[in-house]
C-alpha cells in the first residue's frame, strides 16, 4: 500500500509517525501534506533507512552526492564518504557511481547508509550498453526501465529520472543555442539517445510503466532537470522552462496514481532570479517538493563553488525550496575527497539552517538563541557542545589558544562580551 | 580642498578620474555621486594608496580586517596578511591591532598596503590609557580626538568612529536587555566610558571638531555601529535602529561640511531581514554608502562563519550594500591565519561578484560568460586563467588528475559537456 494512498484514506503509517516525530509536527497535518503531494517521504521497503520527509513546512534537507567515476572507483573510500556525510548531518546521499563495479558499490552504499539513498538509474543501462560494446546509444527502452527496477530492488529510496527531456523540449536547445548546452549527465545521455535513434525519451513515453515500478517499492520519483542551466547565461531559458512544463504534467499523473514525486531544479542561476525559480516550480508543479543543486550564483569560482552554491541554496530554500543537494569545493574539478564531502555537508547545513530560520520552521531559531546565550556567558563548553561542527571549532580555537581561557585570541583582553559583563555588573550594584 | 567640494564645484580630481577609469564609468556621473554623498572615495593625502570608491552604481568592494591582539602580535605575520589579502583581491584592509607596538604596526601596514587602510582610532586612546595604568575609563575626550588625528596623520584612509552610541541610544540596551548586549569592541569601550563617567560620548559631542580633523586629510568617516546585533535575536532592535537614527543626522552634518561618510551595518541578521536592513539604512542615511560586516545569518556555526556571512553578504549587497567586510573561518575563535585571510577574501569576492551580477553592475556578468564559453569548449587553460583563484583550482584538479586531459575526474568519460559536443557535431553533419 502506497503511503500517499494511506494518507489520503486517513491512515497513519510507521513512516508518517517517524517523520512527524522527527520534525516535531502533528502527524495528521503531515499526512495531509503527503496526501496532497506537498511532502514526500523518502523510503523503500527493501531497506531499514530512516524515512526522511521533504517538502512544505518541514526542515530543509541536505543531500550529499557521492559515487565513483571512471577515473576513481575505490569502494572503501566511497563507504567512508557515506559515513562522513551522515556524521556531518546529511539527510540523504546519492550514489552516482559510474566507475568500477557499480552494482556492488550501490548495494554496499545502501547497506552502509542509515539515511535515504538516491540514484540515477539511467546510468545503469548506459554503462552496461557501453561496457558490452554496443555503445550507449544502443541501450534499449526495456533496459532503461529494467535499470530503474534493479536500483529499487537494491533498496534505493529515490530515483532521479529525466522524464521531462522530450524531443520537443530538447528542440529548444537547438533552436536557441545555449552557452553551456546540456550539463546533466543523465540529460546528455538521453539527448544523445534521442538524437541518434530519432525516438522519444522512453522515460516519458513509458511513464505509466515507470510509475508502476516505483509504486511497487513505494519509493519516490525525483523528476530530474536534464536541461538545467550550466551557466548563468542559460538560466530560466526556454529549454529549462519547457522541461518544467512537462514535469508539471508528470507530477499530476504521478499523484493520480499515488506515487510520490519531487522535482529537481537548477543549476546555475543569477542571484536575482533565484527566488523566482522556486516560485515558478511551486506554481507549475502544484507545490511539489523542490530539490535543487546549489544553485550556483557565479560560474567563475571553481574551488569555491560550495560558497556560490551555499549562497544560492540559502536564498532558494528561504524562498521555498525544500531539499538542497550540496556542492563541494571540488565541483567542476575532480571527485570530492572525504574532507570535501564533510565541508560540503556542513556548508549546506549552514545554508539550510539560515533558510529555516528565515522561513520560520518551528524550533530552528531556538538553536541560535541557546548558542548565543552561551556566547554571552563566555561558556565555551556549551558553545563547543552546541555548535555546528564541534571538532572544527575546537581545532580552530586550540590552534591559537587565548592566555585567558574565558576569552579567545581574536580580541584577547579587549573582548567586548567580557567588557560588557563588567559594565553590567557595576551598573547592577 | 575636499573631493566632495571639488565635485560639487564641477571639478574633477585625479582621484575621481582614477576611480572612474577603474569602474568603467563616466567621471561626470561619478563626480555627481560623490557630490551628493552616495559614493565615497577612500583616500588620504598622506599615502600613495590607490583610491577606491564605494557606493551606488559601483562594484561591491571587499575589506579584510587584520590586526594583532594581546594574544598574538607578530608584525611580520601581519604584513604577510596584508600581502595575502591584497593578492587575493581585497579592495581595502583595516588594521585593528590592539596588541604589541600598535603605532609601529599601523605605520608599517599603511606603508605596505597598496589599497586604502581603515582603522578604529578609539583603540588608540583606550589602549594608551590602559597601558599607562589609568584604566580605559579614564581616557580623556581630548585623547580620543588626538587618536583620530594620529591615525589620519599616519595615512589611514577611513576611520571607524562610533559617534552614534549616545547615552540616550545606549539606554535602549538597558531598558530592553539584549541576548548578546554590545559586541563591537569600540562600542563596548564607549559604553563603559559613558557608564563610568556619566558623560556623553565625546565622538558625538565633539562631532564638529572630529569632522574638521577628518576633513584636513580629506579622509572618510565610517560611522561605526557600536550597537550592531551580535545575535540573531537582537537584529533590528530598538538600540540598533535608534543608533541608526543618530547616524542619519551625522551623515547630514558631514555632508554639509563636505566630509565623506560611509555607514556601518550589522552583524548578525536572520536572512529574511537582510534586505530590509539595507533598505532602512539607505532611507535613514540618505543613500550613504553602506559598509557591512557579513551579516551572519546564523549564530551557531563557528568555523563556518565565513559561509553564513557570505550568504548574508551576497544578499545584502544585492539589495544595495556597497562594501562588505569579510568574515574568516576563524571568526569568534581566534585571530585569522594567513590562510584564513585568503579564504575570507576569496569567499567574499564570490559574494560580492554574485551581488554585482544580480544588481547589474556593468561588466560583472561578462566574466561568467567568458568563463562558461571556455568550460563549454573544455578549454582548461583559459578556465584556469580566468577563474577566481587559479592556484586553488589547479591544486584541486591536479590532486586527482583525469586520465583524459580534456575532462576532469568527477565525471571522467561520462562528462556531459564532452558528450554534447559529440552530439552537436554529429547533428551538424
- The answer, yes or no, to whether residue A259 has pLDDT greater than 90, is yes
Q: For residue range B407-428, what is the model confidence (pLDDT) as tens digits?
A: 999 999 999 999 999 999 999 8
Interface of B with A in 12-51 (CB under 8 A): none
Average pLDDT over residues B365-387: 98
Q: Distance between CA atoms of A290 and A193, rounded to whole angstroms?
A: 27
From A351's Cα to the closest Cα of chain B, the distance in A is 7
Q: Distance between CA atoms of B342 and B332, rounded to whole angstroms?
A: 17
Three-state SS for B160? strand
Chain B hits for A329, CB-CB cut-off 8 Å, are 396
Q: Which residues contact B324 (CB under 8 A, 6 or more apart)?
A: B60, B61, B62, B63, B291, B292, B294, B313, B316, B317, B348, B351, B352
Q: For residue range A55-110, what is the model confidence (pLDDT) as tens digits?
A: 999 999 999 999 999 888 899 999 999 999 999 999 999 999 999 999 999 999 99
Average pLDDT over residues B220-233: 98
Q: Which residues contact B47 (CB under 8 A, 6 or more apart)?
A: B110, B117, B155, B157
Chain B hits for A182, CB-CB cut-off 8 Å, are 416, 420
From B274's Cα to the closest Cα of chain A, the distance in A is 10
Chain A hits for B423, CB-CB cut-off 8 Å, are 188, 191-192, 195
Q: Which of A71, A318, A331 lies closest to B402 in CB terms?
A: A71
Q: Distance between CA atoms of A375 and A159, rounded to whole angstroms?
A: 43
Cα four-point dihedral sign A414, A415, A420, A422: negative
Strands (E), A213-257: 220-223
From B339's Cα to the closest Cα of chain A, the distance in A is 12
Q: Distance between CA atoms of B39 and B45, rounded to whole angstroms?
A: 18
Q: In the numeric block, which cell numbers belong to residue B406?
A: 580534456
Q: Distance between CA atoms of B255 and B257, rounded to whole angstroms?
A: 5
Q: In the numeric block, which cell numbers belong to residue B356?
A: 554585482
Three-state SS for B41? strand
What confidence tier does A1 reach under pLDDT thresholds 50, 70, 90?
confident
Put simply, the answer to whether B393 touches A333 (Cβ < 8 Å) is: yes
State the best of B62, B228, B239, B302 to mutate against chain A, taking most chain A CBs within 10 Å.
B302
Please give the full DSSP string across B344-397, using - where no structure is assigned.
HHHHHHHHHHHHHHHTT-TTHHHHHHHHHHHHHTT-HHHHHHHSS-HHHHHHHH
Q: Which of A180, A270, A411 lies closest to B357 in CB terms?
A: A270
Q: For residue range A7-44, what is the model confidence (pLDDT) as tens digits?
A: 999 999 999 999 999 999 999 999 999 999 999 999 99
Q: For residue range B285-318, what is the model confidence (pLDDT) as tens digits?
A: 999 999 999 999 999 999 999 999 999 999 999 9
Task: Find, in chain A, the residue whose alpha carbon is nearest to that of B183.
Answer: A416
Superfamily in which the B42-359 domain is placed by CATH: Radical SAM ThiC family, central domain (3.20.20.540)
Chain B hits for A358, CB-CB cut-off 8 Å, are 270-272, 297
- The residue ranking higher by pLDDT, B158 or A174, is B158
Give the CA angle between residues A198, B423, A301 to the nearest 5°: 135
> Are B164 and B192 in contact, with CB atoms under 8 Å apart?
no
B65, HSE (Cβ side, Cα atoms, 13 Å): 26
Q: How many residues does chain A have?
A: 429
Three-state SS for A157? coil
Q: Return the residue matching grid coordinates 518551528.
A: A362
What confidence tier does B429 reach under pLDDT thresholds 50, 70, 90?
low
Q: Distance between CA atoms of A49 and A40, rounded to whole angstroms?
A: 15
Put simply, the answer to whether A300 touches B387 (Cβ < 8 Å) is: yes
State the best of B186, B303, B305 to mutate against chain A, taking most chain A CBs within 10 Å.
B303
For residue A33, which of A60, A63, A12 has the smallest C-alpha distance? Answer: A12
Lowest mean pLDDT among A99-103, A185-189, B71-75: B71-75
What's the confidence (pLDDT) of residue B120? 98
Task: Locate all alpha helices (DSSP H) within A132-237, ordered by sequence.
Answer: 141-153, 167-175, 185-197, 202-205, 207-216
User: What are the extents of the domains in chain B?
Assistant: 1-36, 42-359, 364-427
Q: Tell me what ipTM this predicted complex has.
A: 0.97
Q: For residue range B311-359, what is the model confidence (pLDDT) as tens digits?
A: 999 999 999 999 999 999 999 999 999 999 999 999 999 999 999 999 9
Chain A hits for B373, CB-CB cut-off 8 Å, are 179
End-to-end alpha carbon distance in chain B: 68
What's the confidence (pLDDT) of residue A340? 98
> For chain A, what is the mean pLDDT?
97
> Are B56 and B39 in contact, with CB atoms under 8 Å apart?
yes
Q: In the numeric block, which cell numbers belong to residue A417?
A: 562580551
Interface of B with A in 362-401 (CB under 8 A): 365, 367-369, 371-373, 375-376, 383, 386-389, 392-393, 395-397, 399-401
Q: Which of A300, A311, A353 lies closest to B298 in CB terms?
A: A353
What's the confidence (pLDDT) of residue A429? 60
Cis ω on the peptide bond leading into residue B172 (within 30° of 0)? no
Chain A hits for B230, CB-CB cut-off 8 Å, are 372, 375, 416-417
What's the confidence (pLDDT) of residue A73? 87
pTM of the model: 0.98
How is residue B56 annotated by DSSP?
Answer: T
Chain B hits for A69, CB-CB cut-off 8 Å, are 409-412, 414
State the best of B59, B60, B71 to mutate against chain A, taking most chain A CBs within 10 Å.
B71
From A207's Cα to the closest Cα of chain B, the distance in A is 24
Put simply, the answer to whether A304 touches B388 (Cβ < 8 Å) is: yes
Q: Which of A270, A301, A403 lies closest to B71 in CB terms?
A: A403
Please give the full DSSP string across A288-355, using - where no structure is assigned.
--EEEE--BS-SS-TT-HHHHHHHHHHHHHHTT--EEE---TTTTTS---HHHHHHHHHHHHHHHHHH
Q: For residue range B105-141, what is the model confidence (pLDDT) as tens digits?
A: 999 999 999 999 999 999 999 999 999 999 999 999 9
What's the confidence (pLDDT) of residue A164? 98
pLDDT cut 90: percent of chain A above it: 97
Chain B hits for A347, CB-CB cut-off 8 Å, are 304, 307
What's the confidence (pLDDT) of residue B73? 87
Q: Distance between CA atoms of B412 and B165, rounded to whole angstroms?
A: 58
Q: Which of A311, A346, A358 lies closest to B272 in CB terms?
A: A358
> Are A2 and A40 in contact, with CB atoms under 8 Å apart?
no
Chain A hits for B363, CB-CB cut-off 8 Å, are none
Interface of A with B in 228-287 (CB under 8 A): 230-233, 270-272
Amino acid at each position: 500500500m502506497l503511503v500517499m494512498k494511506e494518507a489520503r484514506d486517513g491512515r497513519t503509517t510507521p513512516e508518517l509517525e517517524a517523520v512527524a516525530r522527527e520534525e516535531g509536527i502533528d502527524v495528521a497535518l503531515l499526512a495531509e501534506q503527503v496526501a496532497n503531494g506537498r511532502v514526500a517521504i523518502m523510503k523503500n521497503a527493501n531497506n531499514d533507512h530512516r524515512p526522511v520527509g521533504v517538502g512544505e513546512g518541514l526542515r530543509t534537507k541536505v543531500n550529499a552526492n557521492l559515487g565513483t567515476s571512471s577515473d576513481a572507483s575505490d569502494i572503501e573510500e566511497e563507504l567512508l564518504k557515506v559515513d562522513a556525510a551522515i556524521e556531518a548531518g546529511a539527510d540523504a546521499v546519492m550514489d552516482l557511481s559510474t566507475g568500477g563495479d557499480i552494482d556492488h558499490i550501490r548495494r554496499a552504499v545502501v547497506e552502509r547508509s542509515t539515511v535515504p539513498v538516491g540514484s540515477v538509474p539511467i546510468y545503469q543501462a548506459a554503462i552496461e550498453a557501453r561496457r558490452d560494446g554496443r555503445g550507449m546509444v544502443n541501450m534499449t527502452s526495456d533496459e532503461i526501465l529494467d535499470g530503474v527496477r534493479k536500483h529499487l530492488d537494491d533498496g534505493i529510496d529515490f530515483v532521479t529520472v529525466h522524464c521531462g527531456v522530450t524531443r520537443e523540449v530538447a528542440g529548444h536547445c537547438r533552436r536557441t543555442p545555449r552557452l553551456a548546452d546540456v550539463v546533466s549527465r543523465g540529460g546528455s545521455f538521453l539527448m544523445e539517445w534521442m538524437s541518434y535513434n530519432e525516438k522519444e525519451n522512453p522515460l516519458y513515453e513509458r511513464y505509466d510503466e515507470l510509475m508502476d515500478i516505483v509504486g511497487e517499492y513505494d519509493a519516490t520519483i525525483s523528476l530530474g532537470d536534464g536541461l538545467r542551466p550550466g551557466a548563468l547565461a542559460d538560466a530560466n531559458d526556454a529549454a529549462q522552462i519547457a522541461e518544467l512544463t512537462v514535469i508539471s504534467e508528470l507530477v499530476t499523473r504521478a499523484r493520480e496514481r499515488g506515487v510520490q514525486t519531487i522535482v529537481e531544479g537548477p543549476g546555475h542561476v543569477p542571484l536575482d532570479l533565484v527566488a523566482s525559480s522556486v516560485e515558478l516550480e511551486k506554481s507549475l508543479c502544484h507545490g511539489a517538493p523542490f530539490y535543487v543543486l546549489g544553485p550556483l550564483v557565479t560560474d567563475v569560482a571553481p574551488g569555491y563553488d560550495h560558497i556560490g552554491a551555499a549562497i544560492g541554496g540559502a536564498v532558494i530554500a528561504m524562498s521555498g525550496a525544500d531539499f538542497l543537494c550540496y556542492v563541494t569545493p571540488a565541483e567542476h574539478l575532480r571527485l570530492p575527497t572525504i574532507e570535501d564531502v564533510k565541508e560540503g555537508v556542513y556548508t549546506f547545513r549552514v545554508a539550510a539552517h539560515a533558510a529555516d530560520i528565515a522561513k520560520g520552521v518551528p524550533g530552528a531559531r531556538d538553536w541560535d538563541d541557546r548558542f548565543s546565550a552561551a556566547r554571552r556567558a563566555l561558556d565555551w563548553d556549551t558553545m563547543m557542545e552546541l555548535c555546528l561542527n564541534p571538532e572544527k571549532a575546537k581545532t580552530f580555537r586550540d590552534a591559537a589558544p587565548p592566555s585567558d581561557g574565558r576569552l579567545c585570541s581574536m580580541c584577547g583582553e579587549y573582548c567586548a562580551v567580557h567588557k560588557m559583563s563588567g559594565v553590567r555588573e557595576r551598573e547592577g550594584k
